[in-house]
Amino acid sequence: MSTPREQLTRRHFLGTSSAIAGGLLLSGSNAFAAKSNDMSKYPSNDHFWYRRQPSGKFVDTQRDNKAFAYADGKIFLSEDNGHTWPHSCDFADARHIVFSSILKNGNILFSAMAKLYLSTDNLKTYKQITVKDIDGSDYVPHKPKNAERPGWYFHNLTGVDTFDVKGREMLVWGNYCNVIDGATPVNIYYSTDSGQTVKIAYSFGQNPFNQDDGSPSGGKTGTPLGNADNPVICRHVHCVTYNPTEDAFYACTGDFDRPQGHECHWLRGTYDSDNDKWDWKVIVSDEPNTRYKSCGINFVDGKLYWISDANIKKPFDRGVFCCDPADLPNREKHTCLYDPGVESGAMLIQDGVMLAAHCSPASPLSTGIIISTDMGKTWAQYDLKEFGRRSPCRINRMNGDGWFRLDLREHWVTPSEMFFIKPKKA
């Protein structure tokens, strides 16, 4: 992904008039307020309806009928797909929230920059969580050179991070970092107890290009961050997901080629629940203009699907790909289902709908959406121009009303707004 311009941010956005949040698509109305089956009030095309976030709130994550949101100095919980928000509490650092997940038992895990919090009682209270390192010791974030840039320790790029692993829920995600808000060590985190305990599953090596020098993404001087004993380096994690057919997790990273080697890797990890141990292996490392610089890993019926983020130099080897997991290192056994003609950093597959998006700095569209509603047989692309130049990412699974939730990022990754898409039947 490209380095963003630091202009309009989500934090600034929420500090402005709430009329901005609710008025661009549905002027004078609250897109969430009324429970109605009348879809004619929403903008639409041949493949989906869409709507902006509710007035004055940023909906950061959703699950089934629940949604977690925030505004200046406050966090909120809905239990009816955002129609009402009966649960809330004060949270002074709300505008710095960069990650949240709603667990199956109702717990909410969320972070503000380098701090991680858990609520177990529908936001009546919350407590700070200290992550455990691989050896069981406390994993304490480093002291940043610039206090305003403590690093994105827990921010993730994907909107799905909970998985049913042999009848037990696991929360597993990697941090997308070293772009804005300070240099950060790169890790894969996990929890097997609904967020009560969060541990490190894998710690990447110390990247000499992302040392903490106080700058937004770090540099060649400053404090080294990461696992000094691991030669595998990357800038950040793009995606982590689970394949139940193999009982294995897959992760992919970015972004560049360095004198020390590639930063674009695919890893495969297995978890031994009896001994609380992980076994990770790098299965592919390659150049950043290939399909292996990728995002949006999905598994459907044992098949592996992903979308490419190749963007460094031509010719670009990219598109939406599919293969058997064992064939990932062998390009000749990949099927390209669709080439959108532009890099993409997000894709989610649910119920036969394949939803992806353009990376706006490289796109001829303002806000580009890629969609197939028939599991890749046919495709369409749309430009939602009214959102301006935005990159959709962090796609949550459809809620109880059938709406996907997506972030809208200024340039590539600077938080700004969010919105919803509801697919039409194929």
Query: In angstroms, how far is the first alpha carbon of the chain from the final one?
Result: 32
The model's confidence at residue 346, banded by pLDDT at 50, 70 and 90, is: very high
Residue 179 domain-assigned (yes or no): yes
In a domain, 1, yes or no: no
Cα separation, 396 vs 61, whole angstroms? 7
Do 175 and 240 touch, CB atoms closer than 8 A? no
Hey, what are 203's tokens?
């710690």
pLDDT per residue as tens digits for the range 256-276:
999 999 999 999 999 999 999
pTM above 0.85, yes or no: yes
CA angle (187, 294, 230) in 5-degree steps = 30
* Cα–Cα distance measured from residue 186 to residue 329, given in angstroms and rounded to the nearest whole number: 24
For the cut 90, the answer to whether the pLDDT of residue 138 exceeds it is: yes
Instruction: List pLDDT tens digits, range 5-52.
Output: 333 344 444 443 333 333 333 323 344 444 557 899 999 999 999 999
What total of structural domains would you count in the chain? 1
Whether 64 is in a domain gets the answer yes
Residue 71 lies in a domain: yes
Structural domain contains residue 405? yes
pLDDT at res. 36: 52
In sequence order, the 6+-apart residues with CB closer than 8 A to the CB of 22 are 29, 30, 31, 52, 53, 54, 55, 56
Residue type, 396: N
Helical ranges in 58-170 per DSSP H: none
Please list the residues that pair with 67 across neighbouring strands. Answer: 62, 78
Per-residue pLDDT at 426: 87
Does the residue 4 lie in any domain?
no
Does 2 map to a domain? no
CATH code at 223? 2.130.10.10
Which structural domain, as residue segments, surrounds residue 31? 10-423
- The answer to whether the beta carbons of residues 185 and 200 sit under 8 Å apart is no
Residue 313's pLDDT is: 82
User: 290 lies in a domain?
Assistant: yes
Strand, helix or coil for residue 44: strand
Question: Residue 39, exposed/middle/buried by CB under 10 A (0-12, 13-18, 19+)?
Answer: exposed
Per-residue model confidence as pLDDT tens digits over 199-256? 999 999 999 999 999 999 999 999 999 999 999 999 999 999 999 999 999 999 999 9
